[in-house]
Amino acid sequence: MAVLLLSLFIVSGSDFLLIAVGFVLAIVGGVLLCALKPGILQMLEGLCERLGIPLIPRALAFLQAGVSHCRGWLGPVDMMVGLVLGVAAWAVVGLSFVYLLSNFSSGVPFLDALSIYPLSMLVGAASMIPGGVGTTEGAMVLLLGQYGFAVGTALLLAVVIRIVTLWFGVLVGFCALAYLEFNGRHNEGELHAEQHRS
């Protein structure tokens, strides 16, 4: 919802905006429906088991457990705090993109520039491709093209902002996992050595 709110400022990406609004409403509506009526997921799980569809019943059971646990966070205060923090976090990313754009062109209105990245992210999410890889960048290139950016420049901007926002976080995550993995093995080795000594 936070990303969608920031996307609403754009006026020239109406086709993408329709995709984004439809996607967010479908996801939020589905989560709310399943949270308020948990029997729906149980019914679907039973139906898939009767039809002999593999893996889906386990996925639905997992989804049901997750949705049932998130019901405690559906209070108005929690939702408002989450929305405000989400808008603030995504606005920082949007402002980063505005700054990046300002180094190439001053012809994009501020609110449109602020909305390009969030709207592209929603299009990427709607594609159901992990990380929106390719579709997010493609949407960004098409949106920037409406403001007169050449394909090469638009693609460069899309790749740079994705490296800084998405892939930098992925790299930090991989480094953290590697550290934890190494540290865990190191601690296991010390524990085994201590057990042998005693």
Number of H helices, E strands in the chain: 9, 0
CA-wise closest residue to 145 among 136, 154, 137: 154
Residue 192 has pLDDT above 60, yes or no: no
What pLDDT shows up at residue 84? 93
3-state secondary structure string across 120-188: HHHHHHHCCCHHHCCHHHHHHHHHHHCCCCCHHHHHHHHHHHHHHHHHHHHHHHHHHHHHHHHHHHHHH
Percent of the chain whose pLDDT exceeds 90: 8
Q: How do residues 47-105 score in pLDDT, each as one tens digit?
A: 877 887 777 778 777 777 777 777 677 778 888 898 899 999 989 988 999 998 888 87
Which structural domain, as residue segments, surrounds residue 14? 2-197
Return the minimum-mean-pLDDT range out of 5-9, 77-81, 113-117.
5-9
Average pLDDT over residues 158-182: 87
Q: How many domains does the chain have?
A: 1
Q: Looking at the predicted structure, is the pLDDT value of residue 125 above 60?
A: yes
